[in-house]
Amino acid sequence: MFKLFRNIDRKNYHPRFGGLDIFKFIGPGLLVTVGFIDPGNWASNLAAGAEYGYLLLWMVTLSTVMLIMLQHNVAHLGIATGLCLSEAAAIHLKPRSSKFLLTSAMMASISTSLAEILGGAIALEMLFHIPIPIGAFLVTIFVLIMLFTNSYRMVERWIIAFVSVIGLSFLYELTLVHIDWNSAVTGWVTPSFPKGSMLVIMSVLGAVVMPHNLFLHSEIIQSRQWNLKDKLVIKKQLRYEFLDTLFSMLVGWAINSAMILLAAATFFQHKTPVGELQQAEKLLSPLLGNHAAVIFAVALLFAGVASTTTSGMAAGTIFAGMYKEPYDIKDNHSRVGVLISLVMAYLIILLINNPFQGLIISQMLLSIQLPFTIFYQVYLTSSVKVMGEYKNSRFSKYLLYSLGVIVTLLNVLLFISFL
């Protein structure tokens, strides 16, 4: 699919810019957004709001700012080089380093898919009382059909629709509760570390900044047919990409914030702790009415399906990149990558006794791999050999490396806290 775009004569391709053309570039960022409004985020955000009210909203803001910088940087790689992060690693890193990075990234994609499929299965259990193993099977088959039969543009439209449903669902839920907006605004901009909150704070960070999204964004950004010969076109496309990334990440920030707001206005207000997603749905019924509980479950189902789709695409991108190829669902390497991630995740789900613990463990595994992806990404995007004149400035390079250090330290603490 992306391979077809790359075969276009880019030297002679001159897209128009201006007016409403900006809307033609909205889409890749929204696919990335789905990755951090997945079921793992739901668990972290509901716990944050239920236990600490509005106090931890600042972590969603901080995580989103970090995510904007990292996602823009990796999209910059795709635009300037015509390579995704996986291809660039295979081509420009030493074989041992690239194998380590991409193999660990594939393992992280399996962990991601596990959380996404599991979330969809939990939603099916809430709505139709379908057992988790059967629900997970249905979600897996549905996503495989979507990925193997639809074009990228069709998948992109489905994902945008899913994000819209999720967002509207939480807007509806928020109309049913009383929000203390003064406390919410303070929470968004004021760092706070209430006693015993570090585990939740770091889990929110780990659920927002995810390695598979970095690989995915560098690939899907190329669906907009870049011209690598015209510097003026590249600069304009970089500007449009940033607007797409900024808009999409802000949508994700709003949805994640809405989860915390909802939990703060219901569970925290009634001093009711939340330990699992099913419990949250049941508790919403007496607090907000049956419609709210159903809307919650439907939104979770859409989040699970949408994020499983993007997780599968990311896995296909990573695996194809091992062979220095772009993602193309008609190519065997991309198909194998998708199958490895989704099928392995489903098989692991069959062995899980506690779904909520499965979500937590999956986020912990992601946190272990994330620093490696960030540091290798910054190394590649700071290289003259890889990026040419579009390499990171010295300030950008050290700023991005600083983010990697922060994520590493926080995730190490998160891992230790689970021991």
Our count of domains for the chain comes to 1
> What's the pLDDT score for residue 13?
45
Averaged pLDDT, 221-234: 64
> What's the pLDDT score for residue 365?
73
> What's the pLDDT score for residue 364?
67
Is the model's pLDDT at 7 over the cut of 50?
no
Domain that holds residue 229: 2-418
In this predicted structure, which of 24-38, 188-202, 368-382 has the lowest mean pLDDT?
24-38
> What's the pLDDT score for residue 224?
54
> What's the pLDDT score for residue 4?
42
Is the model's pLDDT at 149 over the cut of 60?
yes
Is the model's pLDDT at 11 over the cut of 50?
no
Q: Which pLDDT band, with edges at 50, 70 and 90, does 171 fall under?
A: confident
Gap between the Cα atoms of 410 and 122, Å rounded: 29
> What's the pLDDT score for residue 414?
64
Q: Which pLDDT band, with edges at 50, 70 and 90, does 28 fall under?
A: low
> What's the pLDDT score for residue 42?
80
Kindly report the CATH number assigned to the domain that includes residue 288: 1.20.1740.10
Closest CA to 404 of 214, 268, 272: 214
pLDDT digits (tens, 9 = 90+) for 328-380: 888 999 999 999 999 999 999 998 877 766 776 776 677 778 889 999 999 99
Is the model's pLDDT at 256 over the cut of 70?
yes
Gap between the Cα atoms of 166 and 303, Å rounded: 7
> What's the pLDDT score for residue 290?
73
Average pLDDT, the chain: 83
